[in-house]
Amino acid sequence: MKNIFLSICITICFLTSCKEKEGYVITGKMLNLPVGSKIYFDELEYNKATTLDTTTTGAEGQFRFEGFLSHLGLYRIHCDNKNVIFLVLDKNSGNISVKADTTNFFIKPYHVKGSASSEQFLNFFIEVSSIYKSINEATSKLPDPSVEQSDSANQVINEKIQLLTDEGRKWINNYVDTVSNPIIAVFALSNFLNPDMDKATFEKFVEKAKSKYTDVPMVIDFAKDVDLAFKKMNRKEGEALYTNGTQLPEINMADVNGNSILLSSLKGKYVLVDFWASWCGPCRAENPNVVAAYNNYKDKGFTVYSVSLDDDIDKWKQAIAKDKLVWQYHVSELKGWESNIVHEFGINSIPTNYLIDKEGKIIASNLRGKELEYILAQSLK
């Protein structure tokens, strides 16, 4: 799963407000910064950060942001990657003040006024820090591998580490189950638990998210990511991640010329979404079948959206030309197996493909040989 937060070594403070006044006014000081230093106010979505506003510091490091927000979310104020203030804000956040000394950020973190939930998060963070400090102290007592020590002595230390780890996980699971702030819950789940070992906690939170937090984009995006993780965990070897009758998720990637092509832009056509690569022998062997299907049904409302896992643009272009993949929808991140699409679609081997109908719903997957033409013959009469 994606980790959308910084390392736990950074002290973080989340803020919400009970003020009835709509909008927010954030005043603050970043001490020991040069006058005119640039300060950023960002929204942190589940998979990206968007700068909403910028300003510069005054003579005493003072700054101010104000505006309006449409939903509860995670935000940050920062001047660099080290000095970061995290906020949880909604449309009724009201007046908030912050203060931090950039030369002493890790030892004495910033102060916040105007939010009770910031104290709630700090208490959580302090407890988690204490748990990990105890685990690290126990781990530090393990001998250097080059130093001889009895197996019994090592066993005692390892058992202590395991006990502390289990107790910590139990405490965090209970916290997630009881905390009312969904942003803090997502923080805890994302950073300290995982859907494999803590499945019940994840399932319970996702169920709550889908019914109670439908207006909190970050929480909904997190819930979708958890659903995807569970699908991957439960999938049989070679089984497609998405099932027939479901909507295939959106894809927005760049073509060979760097222009973005949305999969949804092909709505109204039957589309084979084909994951392949120039270096993939089985993919290249399957390409003649895809070409034949395209040539026979392109005039009846069928096309191909090819997603390449290449990392070399020249080899990608050469394979397209050599295999006569004449349709225009060829996209790639040019990151090979490091492509984000690999995670999003749970791809563990290629070729992988999905055939979707005019509305983008899956009607078949992992088609080979003449199977594609057979289904198209039935669908495009």
Distances (CA, A) of 234 to 20, 134, 231, 352: 45, 34, 5, 18
**If you ran DSSP here, which 8-state letter would residue 201 be given?**
H
**For residue 9, what are the contacts with CB-CB under 8 A and spacing of at least 6?**
106
What confidence tens digit (pLDDT) does each residue in 27-79 have? 999 999 999 999 999 998 877 889 999 999 999 999 999 999 999 888 888 98
Tokens of 29: 């000081």
pLDDT in the model for residue 42: 93
pTM value? 0.64
Contact 198, 169 (CB under 8 A): yes
pLDDT in the model for residue 258: 93
Tokens of 126: 């302090």
pLDDT in the model for residue 8: 37
Is the bond into 351 cis (omega within 30 degrees of 0)?
A: yes
Rounded to the nearest 10 degrees, how much is the dihedral formed by the CA atoms of 196, 200, 201, 202? 60
pLDDT in the model for residue 15: 40
> How many other C-beta atoms are found inside a 10 Å radius of the C-beta of residue 41?
22
**Positions of the chain with pLDDT under 70:** 1-21, 81, 105-108, 144-151, 153, 235-239
**If you ran DSSP here, which 8-state letter would residue 361 be given?**
B
Greatest alpha-carbon pair distance for the chain in Å reads 76
- For residue 212, what is the enclosing H or E element? helix 199-212
pLDDT in the model for residue 1: 53
pLDDT in the model for residue 239: 67
Phi-psi label, residue 137: left if phi above 0, alpha if psi -120 to 50, beta otherwise: alpha
pLDDT in the model for residue 306: 97
Distances (CA, A) of 315 to 138, 274, 275, 311, 334: 51, 18, 16, 8, 11
Tokens of 170: 């139990």
Beta strands in the chain (DSSP E): 24-31, 38-44, 49-56, 62-67, 73-78, 84-89, 94-101, 111-113, 252-254, 260-262, 270-276, 302-308, 330-332, 352-356, 362-365
